[in-house]
Amino acid sequence: MGRRSQSSSSSSTAWRHLSPWYYLKRPARLALLVVGFVAATFASWDRLSLVRDYEAEISRLDEEVNRLYDQLRMAGIYLDDNPNIENIIKKHHLEVDPVNSVRREKVKEAMLHAWNSYVKYAWGQDELQPQSKNGVNTFGGLGATLVDSLDTLYIMGLKEEFKKARDWVAESLEFDKDYEASVFETTIRVVGGLLSAYDLSADKIFLEKARDITDRLLPAWDTSSGIPYNRINLAEGKASNPGWNGGNSILADSGTEQLEFIALSQRTGDQKYQQKVENVIRQFQKIFPSDGLLPININPHSGAVKSYSKITFGAMGDSFYECLLKVWIQGNKTESVKHYRQMWETSMEGLLGLTRKTSSNFYYVCEKNGDSLSEKMDELACFVPGMLALGASGYSPEKAEKIMNLAEELAWTCYNFYQSTPTKLAGENYYFHGGQDMVVGTSWNILRPETIESLMYLWRLTGNKTYQDWGWDIFQAFEKNSRIESGYVGLKDVNTGTKDDMMQSFFLAETLKYLYLLFSPPSFISFDEWVFNTEAHPLKIVTRHGNEGSSGDAEGLLLMPSDLYRHDKGDPP
Ligand code: DMJ
């Protein structure tokens, strides 16, 4: 056979394997083919399911790794710096609590939902109306939600979101607005938000912007007493008080800017901010009553109080008392801030005098109108348990115990403001007529943070995990009633669950941040190193020098990410 015929015969031999007759003629061949086919199918099916199993396992491990990273971050540990994990775990006594991890992740997811909705429908505007899917400029167009959210994003490790917000601040945030801004709201949200973002990130743009807006607010303090007007036109610098309050300044609006302005002086080296706000406290000292309870209306010209006006730890009084304690903490509890502590302690005696309890042992804080007591308590006053817990350690042990007990009792009442309604969300205020249990008065809920804030302080300062469970209950009620596809809304009525159309900026600044911290270790943004302003913006505690004002840290604080965590003295991270 020639080469050509040999090769054609071998190719026809090969092709016959493709013909069905080749197999049908011989059953043994057919059987072999079927067995081969079945085996191949099984092998590939097995392989596919193996790949699927591996993928599931990889994503489970991924989640686990993220969870562990999160825990390390909570403890201030960055693996790049500290490759020896066993040492890290030992050294930092890491909390390994899977329940807290899951809860924290859920809160972070809620923040992302709120934030993404704001980004989508209200980017750069003050607040989101989630039902209308609109932005509204409730604070004059200062990007209030964005600025209020900066530190929450940072703390939750949402780096891309933080970066995007930071770039907006750098490129688009400007204050030259022909708008009558509230001095108080602008300070606690915008100045506080920017300073906190600066302390956390060490990015100087935040300090520059904080200084710019504060310079625009400063003329408000140019009154004969030094007690500020409460409104100012940001473009013109013209300050005034609203007519509806008879031209008076409001206590909370005038006595809450101290933390932010002192912090600004410390970070810029310019004492003027600190001097303006510390003078206000000196003025208040002159008129301070023996029970430490100042009426909410004050004449900014004479510096005198309207003695018949209301006394309250709720709306228009609240944050003044909080601020006294926190300036003392911000000032390292030194001699130069001793008068803040003294004033605060006096006010706490006044608070004890306003406290009553119902027949079923709910403690509550009354208000006072002139000489008569009003058995009404705002949900806003639910910051009090946290404040008492924070201040307790400055007392003698016996007094501290008494103050802590009261804090815990009041927190129980505030938790029940939530639990007593069909939606499990608290109304705006409650009445306790004649020692009877709480009855909701104004029945809206606008996503306020005060009760959660107090639960966070109490959990940290008592170690009692019940407070975490209470906070989780409240979070779930928000998820159930307030979450909609385009953000979070308040309720017009906590009895019916009817929704409103506003996502308040403090929901992202405070409510969600305090929830996140409630499920995080106490060493994360520790009370030893940070003090929270009344809008939940943490400010770093730095050295305070004397009465004269600034410490002169003019170069800025230059904090590192690991400064978010408490570190043992002499054991730098
Ligand atoms: C916030 O803006 C601040 O917490 C303020 O001190 C009181 N009211 C709101 C939240 O309820």
d(CA 448, CA 502): 12
d(CA 182, CA 173): 18
188 alpha carbon – ligand 1 mean position (Å) = 9
| Higher pLDDT among residues 296 and 31, named by residue | 296
pLDDT at 151: 98
pLDDT at 76: 62
Q: Whose CA is nearest to atom 3 of ligand 1?
A: 535
- What integer is the mean pLDDT of 28-42? 81
Q: Tell me: the pLDDT tens digits for 78-102?
A: 555 444 444 544 555 555 688 999 9
The DSSP string of 20-72 is HHHHHS-HHHHHHHHHHHHHHHHHHHHHHHHHHHHHHHHHHHHHHHHHHHHHH
Atom of ligand 1 nearest to the CA of 189: 2
Contact between 127 and 135 (Cβ < 8 Å)? yes
Does the pLDDT of residue 569 top 60, yes or no?
A: no
Atom of ligand 1 nearest to the CA of 379: 11
d(CA 244, CA 202): 41
Q: Whose CA is nearest to atom 2 of ligand 1?
A: 535
145 alpha carbon – ligand 1 mean position (Å) = 13
Active site residue 55: no
Does the pLDDT of residue 525 top 70, yes or no?
A: yes
Q: For residue 50, what pLDDT band results from cuts at 50, 70 and 90?
A: confident
| Higher pLDDT among residues 337 and 564, named by residue | 337
Assign 405 to helix, strand or coil.
helix
Long-range CB pairs of 335-342 (<8 Å, 24+ gap) are: 336/544, 336/545, 336/546, 336/547, 337/544, 339/281, 339/285, 340/281, 341/394
Q: What percent of the chain has pLDDT over 90?
A: 76
Among residues 428, 453, 510, 563, the one annotated as catalytic is: 428
Active site residue 529: no
State the CB neighbour count (10 A cutoff) for residue 269. 14
- Secondary structure (H, E, C), 274-287: HHHHHHHHHHHHHC
Does the pLDDT of residue 351 top 50, yes or no?
A: yes
Q: Whose CA is nearest to atom 6 of ligand 1?
A: 534
Interacting residues of 205 by C-beta distance below 8 A, sequence separation 6+? 166, 169, 170
Assign 356 to helix, strand or coil.
strand
Among residues 148, 260, 345, 450, the one annotated as catalytic is: 450
Active site residue 208: no
Pick from 181-185, 259-263, 308-312, 363-367: least confident? 308-312
Atom of ligand 1 nearest to the CA of 450: 11
pLDDT at 573: 23
92 alpha carbon – ligand 1 mean position (Å) = 34
Q: Tell me: the pLDDT tens digits for 448-505?
A: 999 999 999 999 999 999 999 999 999 999 999 999 999 999 999 999 999 999 999 9
Interhelix angle 204-217/159-172, nearest 10 degrees: 50
Among residues 199, 278, 318, 322, the one annotated as catalytic is: 318
* Pocket perturbation via mutation, ligand 1, pick of 510, 513, 514 by most ligand atoms within 8 A of CB: 510
287 alpha carbon – ligand 1 mean position (Å) = 26
| Higher pLDDT among residues 36 and 552, named by residue | 36
Average pLDDT, the chain: 89
* 466 assigned binding-site residue: no
- What integer is the mean pLDDT of 287-301? 97
| Higher pLDDT among residues 253 and 69, named by residue | 253
Among residues 126, 148, 151, 185, the one annotated as catalytic is: 185
* Pocket perturbation via mutation, ligand 1, pick of 147, 296, 380 by most ligand atoms within 8 A of CB: 380
380 alpha carbon – ligand 1 mean position (Å) = 7
One-letter amino acid identity for 468?
Answer: Q
CA distances (Å), 378 to each of 84, 292, 331, 432, 448, in order?
50, 20, 30, 11, 11
Pick from 222-236, 407-421, 508-522, 550-564: least confident? 550-564
Q: Tell me: the pLDDT tens digits for 115-135?
A: 999 999 999 999 999 999 999
- What integer is the mean pLDDT of 238-265? 97
One-letter amino acid identity for 301?
Answer: H
Place of tokens 């009084």: 317
Atom of ligand 1 nearest to the CA of 315: 7
d(CA 121, CA 502): 12
Q: Where are the beta strands (DSSP E) in 43-190?
A: 127-129, 134-136, 180-182
Atom of ligand 1 nearest to the CA of 252: 6
pLDDT at 197: 98
pLDDT at 566: 47
Q: What percent of the chain has pLDDT over 70?
A: 85
Q: For residue 266, what pLDDT band results from cuts at 50, 70 and 90?
A: very high
User: Residues lining ligand 1, judged by CB closer than 6 Å?
Assistant: 188, 318-319, 380, 448-449, 506, 510, 534-535
- State phi, psi for 239 to the nearest 5 degrees: -105, 155
162 alpha carbon – ligand 1 mean position (Å) = 23
Q: Whose CA is nearest to atom 10 of ligand 1?
A: 448
Interacting residues of 491 by C-beta distance below 8 A, sequence separation 6+? 423, 425, 444, 445, 481, 482, 497, 498, 499, 500
**CA angle, corner 378, sides to 374 and 382, nearest 5?**
125
Q: For residue 21, what pLDDT band results from cuts at 50, 70 and 90?
A: confident
Q: How far is CA 197 from the centre of its chain?
A: 13
Interacting residues of 246 by C-beta distance below 8 A, sequence separation 6+? 297
Q: Whose CA is nearest to atom 1 of ligand 1?
A: 535
pLDDT at 53: 74
Q: Is 246 exposed, middle or buried (0-12, 13-18, 19+ CB in 10 A)?
A: exposed
pLDDT at 561: 44
Does the pLDDT of residue 17 top 90, yes or no?
A: no
Active site residue 185: yes
pLDDT at 97: 84
Contact between 400 and 392 (Cβ < 8 Å)? yes
pLDDT at 23: 72
pLDDT at 96: 63
Atom of ligand 1 nearest to the CA of 510: 4
pLDDT at 73: 67
257 alpha carbon – ligand 1 mean position (Å) = 13
Q: Tell me: the pLDDT tens digits for 416-455?
A: 999 999 999 999 999 999 878 999 999 999 999 999 999 9
Q: For residue 74, what pLDDT band results from cuts at 50, 70 and 90?
A: low
Q: What is the pTM of this model?
A: 0.84
Q: Tell me: the pLDDT tens digits for 148-180?
A: 999 999 999 999 999 999 999 999 999 999 999
